[in-house]
Every structure is written in C-alpha cells, then in structure tokens.
Amino acid sequence: MADKWIVLKFGGTSVAGRPQWQTIASLAQARREEGFRVLLVCSAVAGVTNQLSKLAYNPDSADRLEELLEIHRKLGRELAVDEQSWLPESEQKLRACLHDMGHAPGPKFRAALLAMGEWLSTRIGCSFLQQTLDANWVDVREALEVIHEKDLSEARQWLSAACSPAEAPDLAGRWAGLSPVLVTQGFVARTRAGETALLGRGGSDTSAALLAGRLAAERLEIWTDVPGLFSADPRLISDARLLIEVDYAEALEMAASGARVVHPRCIRAAAATRTPVAIHDLNRRNIAGTRISQRRSDPSGIKTVTCQEQMAVILLQNLDARFEVGFLAEVFDIFRRRGISVDLVATSETTTTVAVNCEANHLGKEELKDLAEDLGTRCKVKLYDDCVCVNLVGHGARTALSRLQDVMRYFQDHPLLMVSQSANDLCLSLLVHSGDHLALLMGAHRALIPPADGSVSGVFGASWEEIQQSDGPGTHDG
C-alpha cells in the first residue's frame, strides 16, 4: 500500500518563535498518529524577505547582514538549537550571494539571495523538530523544476517562475525512504540548469500546493494567522464573515481578486490535481477554518468583496479603433513584448481601457511611464497609476447589480474609471482612484453579505468581530 502524504504549510508569522514551532511539532505528531507521512513547507521568518530585499540593493551593508543573522541567532537560541548546525553554512551561502549581487546585480542573483530566508528558517526549525520527532530536512529544489513560459520579462523568469503540479511517483518513493516528517522551503524552485528561482508573491502557498500534487497528498493544510477566507478583509471590515467552504473556481477568483490569504497560483495548482485545501489559524486551532475543494458551494451569490491595490488603469484612445484592422493586436503586442499581463479589458467606440496589476508585473512608476510612451506611438494614452480594483466575487455575480443601487450613488461625486464583468459570471470589478475604494468596499459588503447573528448560515460562518469576542483563556493554542 502506498504511503499517505499530507502537506502542512506555515507562513512567516507561524515560524517566528518557540511557541509557533512547538505548535508545528504538535501538528506534525498529530498527523503522524493519523497515519500520514508529513511534509512541512515553511516560509521565511516574518520580515526576513524584506530584509533580504534591502540587502539586495545594498549588498555591502555589513550592518544589515549582521541584523539578519542576529534575527536567526535569536530564533536558534529560543529553540535551543546548536548554532554550528546551521550558522557556518548559512553565513557562507549568504556572503556568496551578496558577492554575486555586488558584481552582477539582477533578477538571477536576487532570486538566490531572497531564497536564503527559507533556507534559514527551515534549517533551524528542522533542528528543533529533531529534538522530539524523527525528522529530516529536504531541499525543495529536488522536487520543483521551473517550466518554460514564453514572453516573460527577465524579472518574472527568475522571481515569479512556474512549476508543474503533476504527480511524481519517483519523488514520493525517494522521500518515503527518509524520515516520516520532512521539512522543506516554500517559495523556491530550480531551473533546468540547477539555479535558484522563486515562485513570486504567495510562493510558499504555491510551492506547498505543487508539492501536494507531486506527492499525491490527501490534502494541503495552510496554517496562517487568520482563520480562513472571509467575506471581506477583516482589517477593513470588522463584521466580515468567515467562509466555511468554497469551490476551486470561487477560491481562485477570490485569490486573483485580492484575497491575500492564499495566492491564485496555489489554487490553480490544487485544482489541477484536485487536492483539497484547508486554511487554519495557528493561534485558533479550535476554529474549523475554510475548506476549498471541487464540490460547488451553495447557494449562488456574492461570497466576498475584495480589493486589489497597486493597480494602473490605461485609457487607449483611437477615434477609428473599431474600423482599423489590427489596432488591438498591435496595442497588446506592446504588452506582450514587455512581458506584462493584462488583468482587465473594456472597449467602447473610441477607447480601449486596460487594467494591470503593478505588483504582479513588477512595474514601478518608471516602467509605467516607459509603457505609456511606447503605447503613445500607436494611440493617445491616459495613465492612472494609483488605482484600486474592488471586486464582487461569487457564482452569479451579475445578479449583484440589482442590489447595488444605493452603493452606485457614490459615483455621483467620485469617478468610476472602469467596470468589468468576468465571462464566467464569478466576478464584477469596479476600478476607482486609491482613497475612494474604502467607502465602495464597505457599502458593497453591507448590501451583499448577510449580517452575522451568531449562527452559521449557508457558507457564512462567524464574523471576525464574533471570533475576536470569543477569544479568551485557552482559546489560543499557539
């Protein structure tokens, strides 16, 4: 009989101290008792990737390097881990990465440097787990190889690479010969030539889903600092409600539309292999969280109201666009040549409006200015570079329009830059200037999401406010 695998993923706040690692050990032991071989996929300690990014821009900063190492020395001391088991090799690798960045700065060596955060957290964490569990560290680059994608910019090739989630029996057999609990890095993969590449924002979730597929795992558990997916960002709307269950299509649309708990690439990878995903709060293990699976949730209707910041809206004006053969093909070829993916498109008699995600495309103000100048050789261009996309997500999204009459009055005094409805009727998107989005977000949530009354109704669970009120002695297990 083949080994049963389960993959548990832990984010940056979930690997930051001894209480968190004790909880990870407890969860690993519990899954072993359920008969699983366990793979733990871990992010860098919270804040470390940002520290490494700063080092990438100033690789000669001895102070920044020492600060980074001290974060991990402190974690090692807290976990009673011998420094000699991780520090000499880690420091050597870090200095080699910084040397490369100093002599040839660019995405290739930046990827190798940023990957060190996961190297450090997992090497220290595995040494801690070995104090009580039969555990081994494995290098995720043995399992995840980048697949070639056409027309990507150099930055995306190295910093937002893609891998296949296809089952890999040889890998499962090889890893089954090791300890029953394995620890590995999130966020990281390798090129065909064996060099380090990264999986982009949300890459640890994505790598966990990819590994679950390659091991044919029974499920993926994502342990984070929130109980699951909500009907809105709880930091912005306190009466946002926990979603008990959603299907892959809804979860993918939510993730692609700004729900940051899980990344769209993670959902795509899980859906490709039909791996169920469960999202849990490491500090509230008594809450069931959100389950994502193939089964369609009922009833239809809006499940969440999300927002995507760092969006740019570009108006392309051409009086003869509809009668000029090849106009759109030429315009979008400019995006293709620059390796930029377009999120949304709307057309009219004289104007084509596109929206792009600046963060996902690694676009700063200079890159946007260059893009606008390039597009300007083909048509008149108007660029809005600080926008937010408010998304209404759920099966039958178009039915939301009839319930938004009061909300739409907001636009009597505030410009609505773009409206787009997805072809699959899962999302209605409204693009506005940054600063205008909060009122729109709150109004749409009031109009579309049933208020919490202390009970579970359909896919909606407790509100964030109710969850916080229920916190008390014994509630937090972290």
DSSP 298-312: SS-S--EEEEEEEEE
pLDDT at 256: 85
Q: Are strands 37-42 and 181-185 parallel, antiparallel or unpaired?
A: parallel
Beta pairing partners, 460 = 243, 457
Phi then psi for residue 35, to 5 deg, are 95, 10
pLDDT at 324: 72
Find the angle CA(214)-CA(220)-CA(224) to the nearest 5 degrees.
130
Task: Give the Cα separation of 77 and 147 in Å (integer).
Answer: 39
Answer whether 345's CB lies under 8 Å from 354's CB.
yes
E strand or H helix at 386: strand 380-393
User: Residue 371 corresponds to which amino acid?
Assistant: L
| DSSP character at residue 400 | G
pTM higher than 0.95: no
Domains and CATH numbers, the chain: 5-225 (3.40.1160.10), 304-448 (3.30.2130.10)
Find the angle CA(271)-CA(275)-CA(281) to the nearest 5 degrees.
105
pLDDT at 319: 65
Radius of gyration in angstroms for the set of CA atoms belonging to the chain, rounded to a whole number? 23
Task: Give the Cα separation of 379 and 372 in Å (integer).
Answer: 10
pLDDT at 457: 65
Q: How far from the centroid of its chain's Cα atoms is residue 317's Cα? A: 34
What is the chain's pLDDT, residue by residue, as a tens digit (478 residues)? 568 999 999 999 999 999 999 999 999 999 999 999 999 999 999 999 999 999 998 988 889 999 999 999 999 999 999 999 999 999 999 999 999 988 888 999 999 999 999 999 999 999 999 999 999 999 999 999 999 887 778 888 899 899 999 999 999 999 999 999 999 999 999 999 999 999 987 789 999 999 999 999 999 999 998 999 999 999 999 999 999 999 999 999 998 888 878 888 999 999 999 999 999 999 999 898 999 998 765 667 899 999 999 999 999 998 665 567 788 899 999 999 998 999 999 988 788 999 999 988 889 999 999 999 999 998 999 999 999 999 999 998 888 878 888 888 888 888 999 999 988 889 999 999 999 899 999 999 999 999 987 666 678 999 999 999 887 544 443 3
Which segments of 169-226 are extended strands (E)?
181-185, 188-190, 196-198, 220-224
Tokens representing 174 are: 């090889």
User: Residue 230 corresponds to which amino acid?
Assistant: F
pLDDT at 297: 56
pLDDT at 282: 93
Task: Give the Cα separation of 228 and 402 in Å (integer).
Answer: 29
In the three-class reduction of DSSP (H, G, I as helix; E, B as strand; rest coil), residue 472 is classed as coil
Query: Inter-axis angle of helices 264-272 and 248-256, to 10 degrees?
Result: 160
